[in-house]
Amino acid sequence: MHSIYLSKKILVIASSIICFLFLGANSFSQQLQINDSSYFEKQGVNVLVFSSEYNGMFFDEKTSGIELIHHGVRTATGGAVRLQNTPEQWDLIPRMVSRKVDKKKNSIEVELRYTEFDFDSRLAVTGKGNGFEISVYLDKPVPEKLIGNAGFNLEFLPSAYFEKTFLADGKPGLFPLYPSSQTSIEPISKKIPQFAGHTTFDDRGRVEFIVPSSIVTGKTFVLAPEDPERRVKIVSETNDENLMLFDGRNLAQNGWFIVRSLLPANKTGKVLTWYVEPNAIPNWKRKPVIEFSQVGYTPGQQKTAVIELDKNDTPLKTASLFQVTANGNYIEKLKGDVKPWGRYLRYNYAKFDFSSVKDPGLYFIQYGNQKTNTFSIAPNVYDDLWHPTLDVWFPVQMDHMEVNEAYRVWHGAPFLDDALQAPTNHQHFDGYSMGASTQTKYKPLERIPGLAVGGWFDAGDFDIQTGSHCDAVLSLVDTWEKFKPTRDETFVDYPTRYVDIHRPDGKPDILQQIEHGTLNMVAQVKNIGHPVRGIVVPNLHQYHHLGDAVDETDNLPYNPDLKPYETDGKSSGTLDDRWAFTERTTFLDYYTAAALAAASRALKGFDDSLSQQSLFYAKQLWNEDDSITKADTSGFSKRFGNSLKMSAALQLYITTKDERYANVFKNAVWQSLDRFIQFGITPALQAVPYMDGDYKKKLRDYVVKYKTFCDDYAKQNPYGVPIATGGWGGSGGVVNFATTNYYANKFYPDIMNTEYVYKGLNYIFGCHPYSNISFVSSVGTKSKKVTYGNNRANFSFIAGGIVPGVLLIKPDFPENKEDWPFFWGENEVTVGGCANYIFLVAAVNKVSAGE
């Protein structure tokens, strides 16, 4: 009797414990709640609901919609009603009409619209259980043309799910490392039209398009069940609609894994519901990130590491610096205080100062169980950091040339077919457009001769952007004139259009690059009459081309008398030649005049003919100013035209010593500084050696004022530099900031010390948010190995390229992906940015030599 009672008592206690554990787990598990930044949050999981909008210029940038930040990594994006199973970048995107946040109901609702089809939908995202519910509402049924096309998509980052599995209604599957799912062909008539103004999808004469098939279908998907950091359960709660899993990489290398459900036909109200449950590791905290310069430090400069912490983390009291000896031993050289800095964006920050350690050697930082890779303290750490950029990156970008490196051919000699006059009243892609007039002597689609010379591919694509060329040439000339780097590692031969990397030819490489950029700008002014916005391919299938640039066109000038794909051996009927967008702007005229005036000085004695032409056309553009200013109504010219006129006047004055230009500069510079000191201070400082003592004295007060702006950055963020908050990372702004500070230190060292220069490079080389990787490929111990260049599909890099860096995903998530190259705002390298980087490193070399 006693034993029966005892057994029952044990059973009751056990049942109570089980009940408590079950209820406790559900009652006390943290649920997603809308925070003060208007997104859903619980420890380890954030859900953003249209915290930012799709960008109309570049369409789907993978930075909008319903997005998931899962244990510190943004793994899903693009949650929205879309019109394709696997929409590509240029396919239609919905416009967000409204966004309502209801904290009481723990719900966010957005209204989306496709104007092209008069098609509206509403998304409601509500916290539910351990996840969230997504519901799609329609006030009117799906338009007939969109039935079978309109559906709800949520896209998952492939690199986050490589080598992971999934379950579809309990059946296992594997996420493919490379796209391998089945595709089919459908008539082009079934393709949802692309946006107005673009070339049609069948611009290669195609009458069909490729349709990826779903990898699997089901009612319940579990992604990465084996990985608690990436596990996500998705349940379709709509009776008639399954979930489908697609691989977007079948159509485009930048495609994602897409979970999708079609919207039903002839229904209104709530037409689709998903339940999404991202796993949350209990009490998860992001590991501390120790941010420092991967290049290292000179003995005398300030050395401060920034420690980035989860907001639920508490800073440790101390950190240590260890020296690595020749026999592999670690010697603790410093154990110092960790000083809390405070909150910036979503993380807490602290600092560890080890400036007192000056002995040359190899070191690493230890903070708790986090240990950095090694870095140097040495007097010469900055000596050769610009070499990969000039030795490799710039030669690879050289247009109209075959570029070879050892056993590798980077590309053949492309675009030997010159360019065609872009058509009028045309809205193109990537910001290119034409108005009612060509503003040239050429008719639409008429060949413009003489353009197949010089120039660089602007970035990860194969167009020539003249503004970027101006920026690059000005910086390279500045580097040559201030520091005279005579390094010679590139062979350039124009008669054979051949470039060989790592092969000296007896000429300074920097002058050869100045020459190459200048050749194309002179060709523009000579053959067109003025500089152009840019020269770009006419078709989207060319624009997103990945591979050898020589394959973008048939390299034969267009002949309208021949049929498409027909050739007479000298010309071709294929309309694949690049287009020159020739609308004239005051802004670009002055920018080009400045660059050509500067180039004429650097090229004197190196290429005298090009030097003389450069100055001739610089003066011509200056003299034609009055005739175009009145006709130029572009917003860019209105904002920046006067400032660039000031820069053109300065460069022309330095070159010619003609006081007329000096007077224009001096009349404009003070107005510019009074209006916006941060924009005008750089040319104002550059002018100091060429002006009198009164000028330098008057400028002093402005430098003091400028320094207060610099000091404010240290209050805004723990890095003390300007950090961009738009759709493009801010490395360029940081480089320009440090460059301006170099000039300020050079002429006013009592106001601006050298640390204002160093901190810019420290940021670029690893002391920045999100990670500690160097943003310059092959520079520093740990550097960018996955960038957005023309070789991005290889998940590779071009040595010496500097990426934009940290992109702010609104409202507060800093990101720079190292496992996914296709975010151009984070990883795309540009000619202007690389040229500015070369100048800054050369300048810091000069600064460090004076320690």
Contact 834, 801 (CB under 8 A): yes
What SS3 class is residue 516?
helix
Q: CB of 441 within 8 A of CB of 584?
A: no
Query: How many Cβ atoms sit within 10 Å of the Cβ of residue 560?
Result: 10
Q: Can you give the pLDDT at residue 7? A: 42
Question: What angle (nearest 5°) sits at the alpha carbon of residue 295, between those of residues 293 and 298?
Answer: 90
Asked whether the CA dihedral 813, 815, 821, 825 is positive or negative, the reply is positive
- Nearest CA among 222, 131, 129, 130 for reference residue 169: 222
DSSP state of 142: P
Q: Are 629 and 623 in contact (CB under 8 A)?
A: no
Residues of the chain with CATH 1.50.10.10: 386-632
Residue 722 is encoded by which pair of tokens? Answer: 């300007």
CA angle, 702 as apex, 700 and 706 as ends, to 5°?
A: 120
- pTM: predicted TM-score of the whole model, two decimal places: 0.94
The whole-number pLDDT of residue 23 equals: 36
pLDDT at position 627: 60
| Contacting residues for 239 by C-beta, under 8 A, at least 6 apart | none
Tokens of residue 289, six digits: 């990130």
Q: Would you call 193 helix, strand, or coil by DSSP?
A: coil
Quick one: DSSP state of residue 819?
Answer: S
The architecture in CATH of the region 289-377 reads Sandwich (2.60)
CA nearest to 456, candidates 157, 828, 831, 51: 831
Q: How many CB atoms lie within 10 A of CB 128?
A: 16
CB-based contacts of 679, cutoff 8 Å, min separation 6: 643, 672
- d(CA 543, CA 554) in angstroms, rounded, equals 15
For the chain (length 851 residues), average pLDDT per consecutive 10? 39 39 45 97 98 82 96 98 93 95 98 96 98 98 96 98 98 96 82 50 60 95 98 93 95 96 97 98 98 98 98 97 97 98 98 98 97 97 97 98 98 97 94 95 97 97 97 98 98 98 98 98 98 96 93 96 95 97 95 98 98 98 75 60 87 98 96 91 97 97 97 97 94 98 98 97 98 98 97 96 97 97 97 98 92 66
The SS3 of residue 534 is strand
- pLDDT score at 332: 98
Phi, psi of 29 (to 5 degrees): -65, 135
CB 204 within 8 A of CB 195: no
**Which residue, 524, 396, 521, 527, is CA-closest to 468?**
521
The answer for 405, left when phi > 0, alpha when psi is -120 to 50, beta otherwise, is beta
Residues of the chain with CATH 2.70.98: 33-278
Amino acid identity, position 524: Q
CA 420, CA 597: separation in Å to the nearest integer?
27
Q: Which residue has the tokens 């953003």?
A: 48
Structure tokens at 93: 């995107």
pLDDT score for 629:
60
Estimate the crossing angle of helix 731-747 against helix 831-849, to 10 degrees.
40
What is the pLDDT, as a whole number, of residue 200?
Answer: 38
Backbone angles phi, psi at 419, to 5 degrees: -160, 160
Beta-carbon contacts of 263 under 8 Å, excluding residues fewer than 6 positions away, are: 81, 121, 136, 138, 142, 150, 151, 152, 241, 271, 272
Report whether 786 contacts 801 (CB < 8 A): no
Q: Name 335's bridge partners.
A: 320
pLDDT value of residue 649: 97
pLDDT, residue 644, reads: 86
Is 386-632 a CATH 1.50.10.10 domain? yes
φ, ψ of residue 54 to 5 degrees: the values are -60, 145
Start-end ranges of CATH 2.60.40.10 in the chain? 289-377
Q: Are 418 and 412 in contact (CB under 8 A)?
A: no
33-278 is classed CATH 2.70.98: yes
Distance, CA of 609 to chain centre: 38
Q: Give the pairing of strands 813-815 and 433-434.
A: unpaired
Q: How far apart are the first and last CA of the chain?
A: 92
Question: What CA–CA distance (Å, rounded) separates 167 from 536?
Answer: 45
Phi then psi for 567, rounded to 5 degrees?
A: -140, 150
Quick one: CA dihedral 333, 335, 336, 338, positive or negative? Answer: positive
Q: Is 172 helix (H, G, I), strand (E, B) or coil?
A: strand
203 CB burial (10 A radius; 0-12, 13-18, 19+): middle
CA dist., res. 462 & res. 456, Å (int): 8
Question: Cα 11 to chain center, whole Å?
Answer: 62
